[in-house]
Amino acid sequence: MNRQEVEALYADRNPLTGILLKVISVATFVAMASLIKAAGRVPAGEIVFFRSAFAILPILILLAWRHELRSALKTTRPVSHVARGLVGVTSMGLGFFALTRLPLPEAITLNYAQPLLVVVFSALFMGEVVRLFRWSAVVVGLIGVVIISWPKLTLFTDGSTMGNDEALGVTAALLAAGVSAIAMLLVRRLVHTEKTATIVLWFSLTSTVAALGTIPFGWVPLTGGQAACLIGSGICGGVGQILMTESYRHAPMSTIAPFEYTSMILGIAVGFFIFGDLPTIYTLVGGTIVVGAGLFIIWREQRLGLKRGQARKVTPPA
């Protein structure tokens, strides 16, 4: 399908509805991250369990309402789904660990490295042709990531517990972005043969089971408030996934994707008013560079007619 056919497909849709749903989904994912941060120092595997298990509830309700529940798990590629799930749950665990160690704005902004790494990995592992303009945007974006990360990474040398925690948080966030980029490539392969509902449900179930395997590594008893925060984060994750998927039914990916970056504004606002986190100049400058590079890549891919909308529909952010 060429770009003209894609645009024709959405000609009778409402782009404003798509944009609204996308922005609401971004706000829901920021709420998810905020609830996880509010829960405090809970082990990452335990967070992943609550995030995955309770995300299944709104997904099952939607599938039942659409009369798709019986067919949701039917697949001829269970191994591919499990592999994608294990990679995805690793990314989630690293991302949630970063959330417990970093201010909310930095944890969210560092996740923007993921689309940059998708371009790199697509060229290295999938043989995708990436030309000078996109390589330049990737390099500029990664410079922005270095600007955000460098002050925290240098804390490894100061010997303080807080400094080491923040440095570990940045390291985990960057690893999460890299592993998430690999998950994106696996999803791209699945969307050629699998339904969105099948990919999302298999991922949630695989993540839940995999998270249970971390119990021997030290889950902690939760207070009522912590349990409520983690259950709420799971429900927000499921609802956000549904809203994000629905947004792409109303407008092309090139119209919707740039609004992903509203999470930076929301993250700064929530971080300041709820957690008292002030974004550093490094976060603001580096984040602006990363966002600019990401927007350029989206624009360039739209011009080149690259089809990544389906993968975006079913990939849950960290």
Q: What is the DSSP string of 158-194?
A: T--HHHHHHHHHHHHHHHHHHHHHHHHHHHHHHTTTS
- For residue 23, the model assigns a pLDDT of 94
pLDDT in tens, 7-19: 444 444 678 888 9
Rounded Cα–Cα distance for residues 69 and 244 (Å):
20
Residue length of the chain: 318
pLDDT at 251 over 80: no
Angle between helices 78-101 and 44-65 (to 10 degrees): 130
pLDDT in tens, 154-181: 766 666 666 688 899 999 999 999 999 9
- pLDDT greater at residue 33 or residue 242: 33
pLDDT at 94 over 50: yes
pLDDT in tens, 212-244: 999 999 899 999 999 999 999 999 999 998 888
- pLDDT greater at residue 252 or residue 110: 110
Q: Which residues of 110-140 are buried (b: 16+ CB within 10 A; e: fewer)?
A: bbbbbbbbbbbbbbeeeeeebeeebeebbee
- For residue 205, the model assigns a pLDDT of 93
Q: How many angstroms separate the Cα of 250 from the Cα of each of 10, 132, 188, 268, 304?
A: 7, 32, 20, 28, 21
pLDDT at 27 over 70: yes
Q: What is the mean pLDDT of residues 267-282?
A: 92
Q: What is the mean pLDDT of residues 308-312?
A: 47
- For residue 299, the model assigns a pLDDT of 83
Q: What is the mean pLDDT of residues 184-197?
A: 83
What is this structure's pTM?
Answer: 0.85
In terms of Cβ atoms closer than 10 Å to its own Cβ (0-12, 13-18, 19+), residue 180 is buried
Q: Side-chain half-sphere of 315: how many Cα atoms within 13 Å? A: 30
- For residue 308, the model assigns a pLDDT of 46
